[in-house]
Amino acid sequence: MTARPLSLTVNGKQIGPIDVPDDMMMQDFLHEYLNLTGSRMGCGEGVCHACTVILENPDGRLEEHRTCISAAHFFAGKSVKTIEGHAERNVSGKVVKLTDVQQAFMKHFAFQCGYCTPGFVTATTVLMDRLQRAPVARKDLERTITQALDPHLCRCTGYVRYYEAVREVILAAPGLVRG
């Protein structure tokens, strides 16, 4: 197994170069090298989507990526936002303000055990970014949410309160829905 230096941006912070094995998954890199344990290890084979993080493209477009089946080196030179990078923090790193998505999940009692929640926050944030660029018709909103979030598994909640929270936060944000 060989290790190569890896540099990337995580939550706005320049990381590396750090020697990282070629076959190390991003999930392990985040957990073991950066101590960012918020993205969850669920199935380890890309089914449950609890491990997703946001890939911030140079044009600003956000993408969702499963870290359990993506090598850390795939993210070389790229910019990543993990669940730890969503809420606003003060200089000492303490969370001072949640995002609208996080706040909506709290308000709706959307999650129970919380294991899948980082993935749902990530997916919803990416969906809202997409709708910002290409709004959908109101009548298509529920279908759009289902398509975007359907890959995310949840054992506890039955999804309803998540989905209702997502719909509310999308409708409350200006410019995401037409008509």
Partner 1 sequence: MRRVRPRTRCCDSVSIPPRSRCGGARAAPPFLRKRFASSTAPCLPPDARRCRSLITGVSVHVFNRRRAQWAQAEFDVPTVGRERLKADALAVCYGAGAPPERKALMTSGGFHFVERASVSYAPMRNIVGQNYVSSIANIVEIAVDTKTGGVELLSHHSILECGTKVVPELVSGQLQGGLAMGIGHALHEYLPLYEDGPGDGTWNWDRYHLPRASEVAVWNQTADVLPARSAEDPPKGMAEVTVIAILPAIANAVAHAIGHRFYEMPITPDKIRGALS
Q: In 10 A of CB 41, how many CB atoms?
A: 17
Contact at 8 Å (CB) between 39 and 52? yes
Binding mask 70-99 for partner 1 (x = CB under 8 A): -------------------------x--x-
Q: Strands of 113-161 (E only): list them.
A: 136-137
Q: What is the Cα–Cα distance from 29 to 36, expressed in whole angstroms? A: 9
Tell me: does residue 38 bind partner 1 (CB under 8 A): no
Tell me: does residue 142 bind partner 1 (CB under 8 A): yes
Q: What are phi and psi of 79, to 5 degrees?
A: -115, 125
Q: Of 2, 45, 91, 174, which one interacts with partner 1 (CB under 8 A)?
A: 45
- Considering only 55-63, 78-86, 108-116, 130-138, which stretch makes contact with partner 1 by CB under 8 A? 108-116
Tell me the CA end-to-end span of the chain in Å, nearest whole number. Answer: 55
Tell me: does residue 114 bind partner 1 (CB under 8 A): yes
Tell me: does residue 149 bind partner 1 (CB under 8 A): yes
Q: Which is nearer to partner 1, 75 or 159 (CB)?
A: 159
Q: Which is nearer to partner 1, 6 or 42 (CB)?
A: 42
- Report the candidate in 80, 113, 107, 83 with the shortest Cα–Cα distance to residue 95: 83
Q: What is the Cα–Cα distance from 179 to 177, expressed in whole angstroms? A: 7
CB of residue 4 to partner 1, shortest distance in Å: 30
Q: What is the Cα–Cα distance from 47 to 68, expressed in whole angstroms? A: 10
CB of residue 9 to partner 1, shortest distance in Å: 28
Residue 177: strand, helix, or coil = strand
- Considering only 58-66, 112-120, 121-129, 171-179, which stretch makes contact with partner 1 by CB under 8 A? 112-120
Q: Under the rule (CB under 8 A), what is the footprint of partner 1?
A: 42-45, 47-48, 95, 98, 106, 108-109, 111-114, 142, 146, 149-163
